[in-house]
Each structure stands twice: as C-alpha cells, then as structure tokens.
C-alpha cells in the first residue's frame, strides 16, 4: 500500500523527523533557523508549530557549538537532530565530530552513547559554487565511530532519516540540494531504510555500477542507454558510505565480473577508491577488467554552469567508462 500523493525529497526528510519526534520524546531539532523560519530551504517547516520551541531550537551561527551541544545532549540521553546547512560549513565542527563524538563511546567502553544526527547539504548541480557544493563524505567516513548516509530519492531519504535518529552512534546525513524537488510515491507506515545496507535497484549480468547519493539518477540513465547497446548493467545504490555494504557489491561482481563506481566527490581519495581497493584485495580472481571510477576531478567546483557541468560526473561519462570495461 502507498500514499496517494507523491512526496518530494524535502517533505520526506520533514516527515521522517516529525514521525520520530512523535514516537520518541527524547528527539529534538536544533540548528540555525530550523524553528519559525523552517530552515533555509523549508525542510523543517511546521515542526516548531507542532512540538514547540523547546524541541525545535534555533541557535546562533556557530557550527562547533551546535555539534558540541549534540555531543553533550546525546551523552545525557537525548537524541538531537541538527542542521548545519551546507556541507562546507561542517568543517567548522570537525573537532567536535572527530575528537569528541566519534571517540566518546569507544573511550568510555560503550557506557556513553552518542545518538545524534547532523544534516548537511551538498549543492553540486545547483550552481552554488565552491563554498557550498563540496562533497566531503569521505572525510567523515574515515572516522571510526561515525556513520555516514547519502539518500538518493525521497523514499530512502525518509527511511534513512528514521534509521539515523534511532541509531546509537553519530550519523552524518548528507542531502543533495539539487534533488529536493524530486517526487515519488512513498511506502505507507513506519518503515526504515537500514544503515549499512545497499540496494540493488536494477539487476544485470555484464557490469556492476555502484552509485553514491544523487548519482543514482545518472547510473540509471546510463544503464538504460547501455541496455540499448546490449550491455546489461546491474545498478547498486550504496546509500551508506560508512559502513560500506561490500557484501552486496561482492555478490554482484561475482555475477558480472566488472565494476564501475560513480560518485560526486573528487576521484582522488574518494569513496570509490576504497571500494576499488577492497575489490582488488578480496575479489581479484573474479574481475575480468580493472575497477573503474567516474568522479569529479581533483579541483574545486565552479560557479559557472558550463564549468560546473564539466566538473560533475554524469551518465555520459559513465557510459563511456563502462564501454571500455566490456569492450
């Protein structure tokens, strides 16, 4: 069963947060303008009206203070959901994330939990320029004790938000600004999208395509075009950047014997490098071609629409790379 009206990405996140706040009184919202303004892009509209200012808390412009408060509140038994706006601004809270949140549970032998979520937007494809469009998920995926999720559509956006709020570890929840208006019919009822589990969204036999975040759209476009040329691609939506679901990728590569990875972050030191290295170590005998990566170049994204388009990976780049693998 499904709801009659499609829901867009923004409202899917909103509904996920609100449902968890109704279910669990320890969940609260915090960040710049998340209350009466409803967030800079309206994602938290209506939450302060339902839950009041004590559970929808507007803060000063201090990312370090926001994440630091989350650490303390989570250690005391609450479940904060914070907004940092653009992902670039999260660099101002790396001390709180890395030295405190990611280590606290480990340093206290599991006696202190850190159940909080930080929402951060990436704006690639939105024309927002280098100060607002970076994909920094690889930084945080390298931190033991952190979890990082990147939903690809409204269904997984809601399901991952609910799962992240229920998790007992700090979770970085990365939202693609360029996908906010994407709509789809949603599942009915209280569902979650499990953290740490990828989804096979299209089955195939010739090549595995692993996509991260909003690059799923490009992967699906590429797979449809490749099918016209007789190449059957299996498409995997990674969904969780830390921890990786390598078992789903391994199972797919055992069928296809080839793999291409597409992500919006830079190719150098990107998450695709870790996936490729794991495949080389554990699946070498199953590979009939080198693992390919389609990602951004090692430079900063531009404001200019033509330069931004050239910078970002897309279906055309992916199609060319896959044809090299199966040629």
Fold of 199-326: Rossmann fold (3.40.50)
Cα separation, 64 vs 70, in Å, equals: 10
Give the number of other CB atoms < 10 A from CB of residue 137. Answer: 25
Residues designated catalytic: 132
Q: State the pLDDT at residue 1.
A: 40
Cα separation, 17 vs 20, in Å, equals: 5
The encoded tokens of residue 288 equal 């009939």
CA distances from residue 139 to 47, 94, 219, 258 in whole angstroms, order as listed: 31, 10, 24, 27
Q: State the pLDDT at residue 253.
A: 98
Q: State the pLDDT at residue 2.
A: 46
Determine the angle formed by the axes of helices 271-282 and 246-256, rounding to 10 degrees.
Answer: 60
- CATH superfamily assigned to domain 7-184: Thiamin diphosphate (ThDP)-binding fold, Pyr/PP domains (3.40.50.970)
Q: State the pLDDT at residue 206.
A: 98
Cα separation, 276 vs 183, in Å, equals: 32
The beta strand positions in the chain, using DSSP E, are 7-8, 27-31, 56-58, 79-86, 117-122, 147-149, 171-176, 183-184, 199-202, 207-211, 233-237, 240-242, 259-266, 292-296
What is the biggest distance separating any 2 CA atoms in the chain, rounded to whole angstroms? 60
Q: State the pLDDT at residue 127.
A: 85
Tens of pLDDT along the chain (327 residues)?
A: 444 689 999 999 999 999 999 999 999 999 999 999 999 889 999 999 999 999 999 999 999 999 999 999 999 999 999 999 999 999 999 999 999 999 999 999 999 999 999 999 998 888 888 899 999 999 999 999 999 999 999 999 999 999 999 999 999 999 999 999 999 999 989 999 999 999 999 999 999 999 999 999 999 999 999 999 999 999 999 999 999 999 999 999 999 999 999 999 999 999 999 999 999 999 999 999 999 999 999 999 999 999 999 999 999 999 999 999 998
Identical fold, 7-184 and 199-326: yes
CB–CB of 249/207 below 8 Å?
A: no
Q: Can you give the C-alpha Rg of the chain in angstroms?
A: 20
Cα separation, 111 vs 107, in Å, equals: 9
- Give the domain ranges of the chain: 7-184, 199-326
């Amino acid at each position: 069963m499904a709801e009659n009206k499609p829901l867009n990405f923004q409202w899917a996140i909103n509904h996920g947060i609100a449902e968890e706040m109704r279910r669990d009184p320890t969940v609260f919202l915090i960040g710049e303008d998340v209350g009466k303004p409803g967030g800079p892009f309206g994602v938290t509209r209506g939450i302060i009206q339902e839950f009041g200012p004590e559970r929808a808390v507007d803060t000063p412009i201090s990312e370090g203070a926001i994440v630091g408060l989350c650490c303390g509140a989570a250690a005391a038994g609450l479940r904060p959901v914070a907004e940092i706006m653009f992902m670039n601004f999260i660099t101002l809270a790396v001390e709180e994330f890395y030295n405190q949140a990611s280590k606290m549970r480990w340093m206290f032998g599991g006696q202190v939990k850190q159940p909080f979520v930080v929402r951060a937007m990436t704006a690639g494809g939105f024309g927002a320029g280098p100060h607002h469009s970076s994909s920094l998920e690889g930084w945080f995926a390298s931190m033991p004790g952190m979890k990082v999720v990147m939903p690809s559509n409204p269904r997984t956006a809601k399901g991952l938000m609910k799962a992240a709020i229920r998790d007992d570890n700090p979770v970085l929840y990365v939202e693609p600004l360029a996908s906010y208006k994407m709509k789809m019919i949603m599942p009915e009822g209280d569902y979650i999208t499990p953290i740490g589990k990828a989804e096979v969204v299209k089955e195939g036999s010739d090549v595995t395509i692993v996509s991260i975040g909003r690059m799923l759209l490009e992967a699906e476009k590429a797979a449809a075009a490749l099918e016209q040329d007789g190449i059957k691609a299996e498409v995997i939506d990674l969904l969780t950047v830390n921890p990786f679901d390598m078992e789903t990728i391994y199972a797919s590569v055992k069928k296809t014997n080839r793999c291409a990875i597409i992500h919006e972050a830079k190719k150098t030191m990107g998450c695709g490098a870790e996936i490729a290295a794991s495949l080389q170590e554990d699946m070498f005998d199953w590979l009939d071609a080198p693992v390919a990566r389609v990602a951004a170049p090692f430079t900063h994204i531009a404001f200019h629409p033509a330069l931004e388009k050239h910078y970002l990976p897309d279906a055309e780049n992916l199609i060319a790379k896959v044809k090299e693998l199966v040629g």
